[in-house]
Amino acid sequence: MKVMSLRFLKAMLAVICLMALSAGEVPAKVMAPDFVALAEKLKPTVVNISTSKSPAQTARPRRQPSPFNDPFHDFFDRFFDEAPRRQQRERSLGSGFIISDQGFIITNNHVVAGADEIKVRLSDGREFKAELKGADEKLDLALIKIESKDQLPVASLGNSDEIKVGEWVMAIGNPFGLAQTVTAGIVSATGRVIGSGPYDDFIQTDASINPGNSGGPLFSAEGKVIGINTAIIAGGQGIGFAIPINMAKDVIPQLEEKGKVIRGWLGVTVQPITPDLARSFGLDGERGALIADVVKDGPAAKAGLKSGDIVLEFDGKKIREMNELPRIVAATPVGKAAPVKVLRDGKVQDVEVSVGRLADAGDEADQKNGEDKLGMAVRELTRDLAARMGLKETQGVVVTGVKSGSLAGEAGILPGDIVREIGGRPIATLADYEAAIRAVKKGDVVRFLLRRGGGNHFLAIRVE
C-alpha cells in the first residue's frame, strides 16, 4: 500500500509539472534552448581576429676585438655590428562579431591595440584586412571595419539590462586559436567589479571562456548579443566576464564617427556608503554615493555640491551603490543640465549640474603641445587635470599621449606617467621638459625618472 502511495504521489507531481509548463508558468528563458539551432544560426556572425606588430629593431652588442688579428673574426664582427637584430613579429589572437552589413566589427581594444596589421577570418573561410576605426581603452572596446562586396551576416544586439542570473547564455570565439568554438552556460552574476577599469560592470558567466575568446559575443537564449567576452580569472574555472552590450551601444556611434569616446565629468571624488556611515547621515539603507571631495571650479562645485553630500539620483537614475555614479555620469552628454538628488543634513535636495567633459589622456584637443621627437605628448600638471586623470600629484609634467611604435612607446612610457627627471635634470614645468627634449641628439641614450602608480620608475630611451 505504501509503495502504491509513493508511485501515486510521483505520478501526481509529474502531472502538476507538465500542467505548469503547458500553462507557461516556467519562463521559456529558464529552459535549455536549442543550442544546435542557435550555433548554426549565429556562428557566421562571429569572426576570428589575428593581429601582428613589428618589434623595434635593436643593434647587437659589439663583440670584443680578436687578440689574434683574425680576419674571419673581424668580418663577422663588422657584419653583426651593422646588421639589425632579427626579431619575430608579435602576434595575437582574438574574436569579434559583425554588427552591420557595412562591415563594422566589435572586439576588445586589447586584441588590436598597437597592431600594424589586423586580419579577420569569417566562418566560411574568407579573410579580410581590417581597419581600426576607433578604440576606447577605459571600456576595452574597439571598432574595426572590413570591406566586402558580398552581404555579411549581422549579429542582433540585445538588452543587457534585462538579463537575469540563471539565464542560459552561449559564447562563440577563437580560444587558443580553435576557431568557431561554441560553449554554453548561465549568467552567474551581474554588476561585477573586478578592478579592470573605472567603469567595471561585468556580466559573470560559467560558459567556458579562454584566451582568444576576447572580443567575442556572449549570446542570450534568444540569439542576441548581451555581452562582449573580455576577462577571465587566472587559474579559475567557470569564471568569465563580459562587458554588457548596453555599455557598448552607448559608445559605438562615437567610435564610428570620432574614433574615440567623449565622456561626461562631474568633478567629485566619491566613496561607498557603509552601514555606520548610513546611520550617521540619517540614511535609510546603504545606497547612494558619498561625495568625499569636490574639484575646485569643476561642474559639481559650480552647482553647489559639497563634501558630505550623498548622491541618491543622477539624471533620473537611482544610485544604488557608489560605482554606478561614475558610469552614469560618463554616459551623460557633455553640457547637459542634469538633475541631481542629494541627501544633505538629513534632507533630500534637488540640484542641477551642467555636465563637464572628462579629459582623455590621448585627447589632442586637450593637449598643449603635439607629439615630440620621442613620440609622446605632455602637459603641465594642474590640480584640475590631476583630478580628471585620477592622479595624486598636482605638480610637474604628465604624459597625455604616446604614439604607437614610437621611441617612447617602445621604451614603455605610458599616458599618466609624470616626468620627474630627464638625464638627471629635474623637470618641474613644461618649459623644463621642452628644454631637455631640445637637447636630445641622435645617438643619445636618455634616462627618464617617472612617477607611476605612487612609485618611481626609471626608463632609458636610445634615440635612433
Residues with active-site annotation: 110, 140, 214
Q: Is 69 left (phi over 0), alpha (psi -120 to 50) or beta?
A: left
The grid coordinates of residue 46 equal 562571429
Q: Is 93 left (phi over 0), alpha (psi -120 to 50) or beta?
A: beta
Distance CA 265, CA 295 (A): 11
- Tell me the chain's radius of gyration from C-alpha atoms: 28
State the Cα torsion 413-419-422-427 to the nearest 10°. 160
Distance CA 253, CA 257 (A): 6
Q: How many residues does the chain have?
A: 464
110 phi and psi angles, rounded to 5 deg: -70, -15
The grid coordinates of residue 34 equal 536549442
The grid coordinates of residue 374 equal 620621442
Give the residue carrying C-alpha cell 554588457. Answer: 244
Closest CA to 247 of 323, 165, 174: 323
Q: What is the 3-state secondary structure (H, E, C) of 73-85?
A: HHHHHHHHHHCEC
Q: What share of the chain is helix, strand, coil (3-state, %, to 5)?
A: 25, 35, 45
Q: Are 433 and 376 in contact (CB under 8 A)?
A: no
Q: How far is CA 18 from CA 9, 15, 21, 29, 30, in A?
A: 14, 5, 5, 17, 15
Q: Which amino acid is at 171?
A: A
Exposed (0-12), middle (13-18) or buried (19+): which is 378, by Cβ within 10 Å? buried
Handedness of CA 97, 99, 100, 102 (dihedral sign): negative
